[in-house]
Structure 1
């Protein structure tokens, strides 16, 4: 299993993608599956697609890819209705087609020498972590642990985990069923008091896990995160405290999403000094030290 750094030229496709399934979940969340074989064949964990939500809205909406099946040719997204564009998208039904531009962006690049991967996904940052966990379970030697956080009901029915995780407080047993089915340990965090979830921030639970590891195992850890900016900043501080490599996927408002408009630039530290980088094609995945260092 390899994790590539794609050359964007010739790898971003426009497809008319028939909707295969579109399921509502609490708090205005939806899981959308479309037939997009060229995107499915090239997508990597951390990449996203730009969807035209309606003929009435020429501006596309960027959505992180949650799962793919290259053989069956489908791509799946989790999104939340937050404005008129995503509201229109939520009204699309199976059998209709939407225009998809993707896959876009540089992916996560796990280091085989650090197989003990810690994946943190907050809110709409959950999809890339699902995609990465799926890829890691198919690779050789990786041992992912996934923490997901949400302040609205999760878009799945949590179930008690049967997989032991060091450092977990008593009663923190809620897990994502898909991860359990894959044999990947996961835990859920929320400030809303959901049963079995850790009542606090994901980074606090991640700290408990890291503290429970011995020095040898902790030296095998690499952190991956996607979610709101404050969560990513806290994750970067945690990684720096433990001197661990950390990759973060940033969110940004986008117009073109292919690097032409430079409307999604963020300041990043580079070996040559501070620079403005485009989240769409220079990211969305960056080294946490470059963004928050």
Structure 2
């Protein structure tokens, strides 16, 4: 893992991207689509870009990739208007140019031995889950399921699902319309009283899905989680309890995002002992047992 940056030398590049759509959803959430053909052609689920939000702001901001279309060259992001940088980014109009640095980071890998990929996304952790789901939808031999959580209205269209999810709470009836269209069962969780959602944690839905699986089936399952830290820890603990492999995508403040400044380091557990790893190029995806090794 120490050579992660060298392994991807030459795969990170700067690209000028034209804004082709900028849509606002409730809860100060915005969906940004840009024309960036090089990034669209090479990005993989779990990777991100470092984006220049405004010419007057020298520091870039990391944004997870939500979807790409390599044929037409567009790349899509979802972000919240929270700090100074994202408030400036929210002002960018169709036709304007943005500078991207990417695609960056270690992506999600779904091995050939996995039959039940369980995708968990919370809040602004939803975009990489959508990217991964779209990449898996046409792979044979897979039975993916997705569970998405939010405490503000979901930044996508929802539908009452026709795709069966046995064992889940009765109130969890609605799904992400995109995933439903792709044939991937999904359910939603929220404490905000949103219609059609489970009134609890998104990891509760993952547990309800995984627990009925027999031990041999669990060995062919894996959890892929992106979201706030308490959710990631809960996912890692769930995987440990049920004997399911877990992969977590971490988020940290970043300066350079290409491994030079070491400003985004996190402590992980490795066979040789504790180590500090950079979220940008050693991650953002790490095995759950490295991030939360447990007792």
| TM-score bin (small chain) | over 0.9
Deviation at 1:138, TM superposition (A): 2.6
Please name the residue that 2:22 is paired with: 22
Please name the residue that 1:288 is paired with: 288
Please name the residue that 1:272 is paired with: 272
Q: How does 1:31-180 map to 2 (within 5 A)?
A: 31-180=31-180
Is the 8 Å Cα contact of residues 166 and 213 (structure 1) preserved in structure 2?
no
Please name the residue that 1:195 is paired with: 195
Q: Give the number of aligned pairs.
A: 289
Superposition CA RMSD, Å = 1.2
Deviations 1:160-216 (A, max 9, x none): 000001211112111000001101000000011111100000111111111222333
* Structure-2 separation of matches of 1:36 and 1:130: 19
Deviations 1:202-251 (A, max 9, x none): 11111111122233332321110000001000100000001111000000
Please name the residue that 1:221 is paired with: 221
Please name the residue that 1:247 is paired with: 247
Is the 8 Å Cα contact of residues 211 and 242 (structure 2) preserved in structure 1?
no
Deviation at 1:140, TM superposition (A): 2.4
Is the 8 Å Cα contact of residues 112 and 142 (structure 1) preserved in structure 2?
no
Question: Secondary structure of 2:238's partner?
Answer: helix
* Structure-2 separation of matches of 1:140 and 1:255: 40
Is the 8 Å Cα contact of residues 19 and 93 (structure 1) preserved in structure 2?
yes
* Structure-1 separation of matches of 2:6 and 2:47: 10
Deviation at 1:6, TM superposition (A): 9.5
Q: Report which stretch shifted further, 74-83 or 136-145.
A: 136-145
* Structure-2 separation of matches of 1:204 and 1:278: 30
Deviation at 1:142, TM superposition (A): 1.6
Please name the residue that 1:238 is paired with: 238
Is the 8 Å Cα contact of residues 218 and 243 (structure 2) preserved in structure 1?
no
Deviations 1:257-288 (A, max 9, x none): 00000000000111221110000000000000
The answer for unaligned runs of 5 or more in structure 1 is none
The answer for unaligned runs of 5 or more in structure 2 is none
* Structure-2 separation of matches of 1:212 and 1:149: 22
Q: TM-score, normalised by structure 2?
A: 0.96
